[in-house]
């Protein structure tokens, strides 16, 4: 039986520090913070964030339609209230284009750009873990499960067709149990 390596996740302080790195005064910084925030606070995949269209985001209703290329399972998610101002700021500044997150010329962002951007900001934040856009999704899922213990809702949020795919987050959420046991001094 081959052992599967656990995904890399950020601790809450690391995630907050990562999101502070892009400078919102610049259009690209605003865009990058909004993209990483959606991955960290809604559990979006890289392809889902780069394929978002302006019509997929309804800030008035706080809704997000994720058109998933994976399994062709579209899903509707709630946009956390604390993200609406950030997304609205980008919406007002974004160049015209088919996609919500674009280059400054209105062209679609490449996956490679987003991967390099996340890596660059994580290094700038002093995070020594090997972070990727998917790490942000893993971080969201782990934190969601830690707080709610609701694996079925998490499965639907993430767009997994099989619950067994989602159960990895039970293991990740229980790492804090293991760490607590290590710090326990016993009775000696």
Active site residues per annotation: 45, 70, 134, 137, 160, 169
Among 43, 47, 46, smallest CA distance to 159 is for 43
Closest C-alpha among 133, 122, 144, 142 to residue 35: 133
User: What does the alpha-carbon distance between residue 47 and residue 70 come to, in Å, rounded to a whole number?
Assistant: 9
Q: What's phi and psi for 104, nearest 5 deg?
A: -70, -15
Residue that the structure tokens 């149990």 belong to: 177
Collapsing DSSP to helix, strand or coil, 182 comes out as helix
- DSSP class of residue 115? H
> What does the alpha-carbon distance between residue 45 and residue 85 come to, in Å, rounded to a whole number?
22
Cα–Cα distance measured from residue 73 to residue 24, given in angstroms and rounded to the nearest whole number:
33
- Biggest alpha carbon distance in the chain? 67
């Amino acid at each position: 039986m081959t052992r599967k390596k656990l995904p890399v996740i950020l601790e809450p302080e690391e995630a907050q520090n990562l999101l502070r790195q892009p400078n919102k005064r610049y259009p690209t910084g605003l865009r990058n913070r909004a993209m990483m925030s959606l991955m960290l606070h809604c559990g979006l995949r890289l392809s889902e964030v780069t394929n978002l269209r302006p019509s997929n985001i309804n800030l008035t209703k706080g809704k997000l339609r994720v058109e998933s290329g994976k399994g062709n399972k579209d899903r509707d998610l709630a946009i956390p209230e604390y993200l609406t101002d950030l997304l609205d700021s980008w919406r007002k500044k974004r160049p015209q284009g088919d996609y919500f997150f674009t280059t400054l010329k209105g062209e679609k962002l490449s996956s490679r750009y987003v991967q390099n951007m996340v890596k660059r900001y994580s290094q700038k934040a002093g995070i020594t873990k090997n972070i990727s856009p998917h790490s942000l999704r893993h971080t969201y899922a782990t934190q969601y499960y830690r707080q709610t213990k609701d694996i079925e809702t998490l499965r639907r949020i993430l767009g997994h067709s099989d619950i067994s795919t989602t159960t990895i987050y039970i293991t990740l959420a229980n790492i804090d149990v293991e760490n607590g046991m290590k710090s326990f001094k016993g009775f000696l």
